[in-house]
Structure formats: C-alpha cells, structure tokens
Amino acid sequence: MDKKIAVVILNWNGAKLLEQFLPSVVAYSDEANIYVADNASTDNSIAVIKEQFPSVKIIQNEGNFGFAMGYNVALQTIEEPYYALVNSDIEVTENWLSPIVSLFDNEPIIGIIQPKILDYKNKDYFEYAGAAGGYIDSYGYPYCRGRIFDTIEKDNHQYDDETEIFWASGACFFIRKEIFRKLNGFDPDFFAHQEEIDLCWRAFNLGYSAKYTSKSVVYHVGGATLNQSNPKKTFLNYRNSLLMLLKNLPSNQLVPILFMRLTLDGIAGVQFIFKGKFAHCFAILKAHFYFYHLINYTLKKRGTIQKENYFHTKSIVFNYFVSKKQYF
C-alpha cells in the first residue's frame, strides 16, 4: 500500500543532529516515507545518511536556500498527499503519525496540523516554538497555548485536546500537499522565521483550518539554528511579521494596525536599550527600514480574500505587560 505521508527534514550542516534525532524518526514512522532535504551542506551530512540511515531518501538542494525556499524546492518532487515538515532537532514518539493521518482523512476542512511540542531539554515543559498551538493578536504578535513571550508553562495536561488554532509551528508542521502547492508554499522572501504563520494565514483566508492535537507528541531542542539571543533572529522576526501583516490584513485595517504596530515596535526597541541590548534595538530599526523598502513589492502579493476574524486576542502585549496575564 502506498504511504500517505512524507516526513521531510530540512538539513544544513546538521550531521550531528541527524545522528542524534533521525533514529527516533526512522523507528516510529512506519506510515511514512522519510526524506532529508539537504541545503548544500559542507559537512558529512550526506555520508551520515547514506551509511547510517539507508532507508532515508535524500533530496540535494543546490544551495543554502533557508527554511522557506529550501522546503519549496524540495517538496516539488514529493508526491505523498500529506507532508510532515520536521526540524532536524526533533525527537518523535511512538504513534506520532497515526493521529495526524486520521484527522486529515476524516476532516477535509483541516489543511494544517500541529502536534504537542515539548522541550527536549526539560520534557515536563512546553517548548518555545509552538507549544500547544499558535495564535496572533490583532497587531500580528504571535503567541501559543503554553508559551506567551518568555513565559513557558509546565505540561500539566491542560492542553490535552484537539482544537482549532491559527498557526502551527514550523518545527513540526503537517500540511496537505494540495494546499501547500495551491498557496505556492512558503514565502521565500522571509528566508526563515514566521513563514509558517504567513502560510497558515493565507490558508485561513482561503477557508482552511489549522488544528492542534495532543495525541501526537514530539520533543524539540530549539535554537539549534538561531538562538533567541541572536540579533539576526530579532531582525527576521520583526521584519517578517510586518511583511505578513501587509500581505494578509483586511484592507480597512491596514493603516491603523500597521501604525499601532510601528509604535509598539518602537517601545520594544526602547526596552532593549534599557536592558543594554543595543544590537537588538538596531535589529528592529533595520527590520523597519527593510519593511519600508519592500512595501510596494509586498503589496503585489496580497491575495483576493482577507478575512477579518483572524485574531484571538486584541493585544497580547497589553495583556502580558500591563494586565500581567502571563498564561493562556
């Protein structure tokens, strides 16, 4: 019987991560074909796969295309109906794929699914990148059930459910092939960070839903590519978030939301100064100048439909920092 799901791991110079984490994927993914999409690694990644994991198929990209374009190029040749896009620093668990296949098979409106993502280094806690499913506020700031800004919850089974979410983490991201291709994949101009939120938002605008299931559990190391303290990560997050708003907001909300967002970003920059994190403040300024430069180009990417009920909370910034609501 043909397998319905393709597990696709994007790799760049991650031989050690492959040696550490591919064994769990191979052991617990009988329902899937497993691929490693390699972004022109210069280490011994390819040799490791060939010698230690002969059942894993290799797709060799011609350059380091980043997360977005790396997957876009690799997935052009993969024809299984369901894609599992999995970071190379993910440990999967037994029976992690069956609940996903069941949801896709039985609920056609579901386009995207995220499992429960726990911290590999502290397995009783949720992991920063995704936790128990993502949302955004009206200004485009992302947060998760189980993680709001830097507050991370312990897994006390409070999110042992299946529920609709707004975005699924790119660390372990399931999507139907037909929807990924209909949306032309990730936006390659994002390079990395928040491209999965943009993709989920575009799917939402077309009427597809994203869902979280606690029946599938994975453990994520996190920060293996860019650490949270890296100013480049700050730059990409702020720039890409603004680009995402410009692409997906309803027309009547573009000016007021973007104006308020610019103000809030300015406040964030001042906070970085007070903390002595001058490189991060500069990263926000740089992100804004890049955004202004790309406005006309990005406006051309707007789809024909932008739905209004995209946000779960008006302002997660106000709730967290002013009202002190630090848990979902």
In this prediction, what percent of the chain has a pLDDT beyond 90? 95
Pair 194, 246 in one domain: no
Could you tell me the pTM of the whole model? 0.95
Residues 194 and 66 in one domain: yes
57 domain-assigned: yes
Spatial separation of the C-alpha atoms in residues 297 and 188, rounded to whole Å: 13
Compute the radius of gyration of the chain from its Cα atoms.
19
158-182 CB burial, b ≥16 within 10 A, e <16: ebeeeeebbbbbbbbbbbbbebbee
**Closest CA relative to residue 115, chosen from 180, 129, 283:** 129
Round the average pLDDT of the chain to a whole number and report it: 95
Residues 42 and 123 in one domain: yes
User: For 17-32, b where at least 16 C-beta lie within 10 A, e where not — what string?
Assistant: bbeebbebbbebbebb
- Is residue 52 located within the same domain as residue 187? yes
In the structure, what pLDDT confidence band is assigned to residue 239 with cuts at 50, 70 and 90? Answer: very high
Residues 102 and 207 in one domain: yes
Average pLDDT over residues 140-160: 96
Q: Are 96 and 117 in contact (CB under 8 A)?
A: no
- Domain assignment present for residue 318? The answer is no
Question: Which of these three, 182, 200, 220, is where a domain ends?
Answer: 220
The DSSP string of 10-34 is EESS-HHHHHHHHHHHHHT-TTEEE
Q: How confident is the model at residue 114 (pLDDT cuts 50, 70, 90)?
A: very high
pLDDT band at 127 (very low <50, low <70, confident <90, very high): very high
Residue where a domain stops, chosen among 193, 220, 247: 220
Residue 288 shares a structural domain with residue 174: no
- Asked if residue 202 belongs to a domain, the reply is yes
Distance in angstroms (rounded) separating the CA atoms of residues 48 and 245:
41
Q: pLDDT at position 192, please?
A: 84
Same domain, yes or no: 57 and 140: yes
The verdict on residue 194 lying in a domain is yes
Given a contact cutoff of 8 angstroms between Cβ atoms, the answer to whether 273 and 281 are in contact is yes
Check the CA dihedral 221-222-226-229 and report its sign: negative
Tally of CA atoms within 13 A in the half-sphere of 96 that contains its CB: 25
User: What is the per-residue pLDDT for 21?
Assistant: 98
Q: Distance (Å, rounded) from C-alpha 16 to C-alpha 79?
A: 28
What's the structural domain count of the chain? 2
CA 305 to chain centre: 22
Domain residues for the domain of 280 are 231-311
Q: Is the pLDDT of residue 225 over 60?
A: no
Longest dimension (CA), the chain: 60
Question: Do the Cβ atoms of 143 and 149 come closer than 8 Å?
Answer: yes
Same domain, 146 and 295: no
Q: Which of 181, 198, 220 is the last residue of a domain?
A: 220
Structure tokens at 203: 């799917």
274 Cβ contact partners less than 8 Å away, ≥ 6 residues apart: none
- Residue 129 tokens read as 């990148």
- In this prediction, residue 227 carries a pLDDT of 61
- State whether 212 and 258 are in the same domain: no
DSSP output for 128-148? TTTTT-EEEBTT--EEETTEE
Residue 100 included in any domain: yes
181 in the same domain as 128: yes
Map tokens 């994975």 to a residue.
218
Residue 319 located in a structural domain: no
CB hemisphere CA count around 171 (13 angstroms): 30
The answer to the question of residue 27 being in a domain is yes
Closest C-alpha among 195, 177, 176 to residue 110: 176
Q: What is the CATH number of the domain that holds 115?
A: 3.90.550.10
- Same domain? For 95 and 167 the reply is yes
How far apart are the C-alpha atoms of 188 and 116, rounded to whole Å?
Answer: 27
Cα(89)–Cα(20) distance, rounded to whole angstroms?
Answer: 8
Q: Are 183 and 202 in contact (CB under 8 A)?
A: yes
Average pLDDT over residues 184-202: 95
Whether residue 71 sits in one domain with residue 160: yes
**Does a structural domain hold residue 69?**
yes
Tell me which amino acid residue 145 is: R
